Each structure stands twice: as C-alpha cells, then as structure tokens.
Amino acid sequence: MGEGGRGRRSRDDLPQPRRRSKVGAVSESGEPALRHQLMEATVSKMLNEFREFAVKGNVVDLAIGVIIGAAFGQIVTSVVSDLFMPLVGAVFGGLDFSNYFIPLSANVTENSLAAAREQGAVFAYGHFLTVVINFLIVAWILFIVVKGINRLRRKAATEPPPAPPAPTREESLLMEIRDILAQKA
C-alpha cells in the first residue's frame, strides 16, 4: 500500500497500462513481442510460398506461352487481313467482305458498315464471314504446328536409347573380383 498504511496507493502500486510493442521491442516482462514475431513469420512464409510458385517452371512456361501466343496472333491477323483476304476479295470481284451487311432499319442509308451502324441496326454478315475465315486460317495453322510437334515427338520416341557406356577399368576389375569370389563360394 502507500505510506502510513491508510489504504492509499502510491503511483508505483497502481497497475501500469500495457504498452504496444514496436519492431524488435521487448515487453516489460522481458518476453519478446509475440504478436510481431507471428506476423513476421506469416508474412515471410507467404513470401517464400509466392516465390516458389512464381519461379516454378510451369508458371514461367505459361507466361512465355502467353507472350508468344499474343505475338503469333498478331502475325496470323496480319497474314489474314493483309495477304489472304485481299486475294479472296479479288477472286470474288474485288469486294471487301467486312462491309457486307443488311440494314434492319429504314434509317440506314450508308454503304460502309461503320457509318451504317451509327445510323441504326444492321445485320453484319460480311464481318461475321471475315471472322469465321480468320478463325479457320488460325485453326489450320495451329493444326499444322501441332502436327509437326507430334511428328517430332513420335520420332524421338521411336529412336532406340543410346547404348550404355562401356565399364571403366575400375568397374571391370571389380566385376572380375566379384566373379572370382562367387566361384570360390
């Protein structure tokens, strides 16, 4: 109690409020700040798991595949729109399929698809044909690529495995010793 024993408490006798621990701090009782350690361990574990996930071969291979696929898509789109479709248009009288449409509104008077869409509803079958032809070309190219890869895999699977290397001098001597001991036994 306090001085004189009258039931008064001194400042030292009153319970002290808890203080929040800071990074690397130690509580008043001398124990480490447990909450901080648990949070630090959890964050460290999550970062390690993420690093393992991100560096795995499958994730990296997938990322490379997506990037190459995007570049390949641009090449195929260019082949279709710049090389193939002009030839198809020339065969069919020099017309561009993308501007074939049927107006669904009396307000549509334009001849180009973009301007006609601004005027009202249109049935754009020419654009649909262009997309279908584009898809068929992409599917055909991918089919040829996959067929080539499968051919290479089959060729690699049918090749005989390489002959095992000849035993070294030490291995030959050890085999001779083994055979001699086997004959004596």
Whole-structure pTM value: 0.45
d(CA 185, CA 165) in angstroms, rounded, equals 30
State the Cα–Cα distance between residues 64 and 73, nearest whole angstrom. Answer: 14
| pLDDT, one tens digit for every residue, the chain (185 residues) | 444 455 555 556 655 555 554 555 555 554 556 777 777 888 888 888 877 776 776 777 778 888 888 888 788 778 877 887 778 777 877 666 778 888 888 888 888 888 888 898 888 888 888 788 778 877 887 888 889 888 988 888 887 878 888 889 999 999 999 999 999 87
CB neighbourhood size of 39 (10 A): 11
Count CA within 13 A, CB hemisphere, residue 109: 1
Helices 57-78, 34-55: axis angle to 10 degrees equals 50
- Contact predicate 97/130, CB 8 Å: yes
**To the nearest 5 percent, what fractions of the chain are helix, strand and coil?**
65, 5, 30
Instruction: For tokens 């279908």, name the residue.
Output: 132
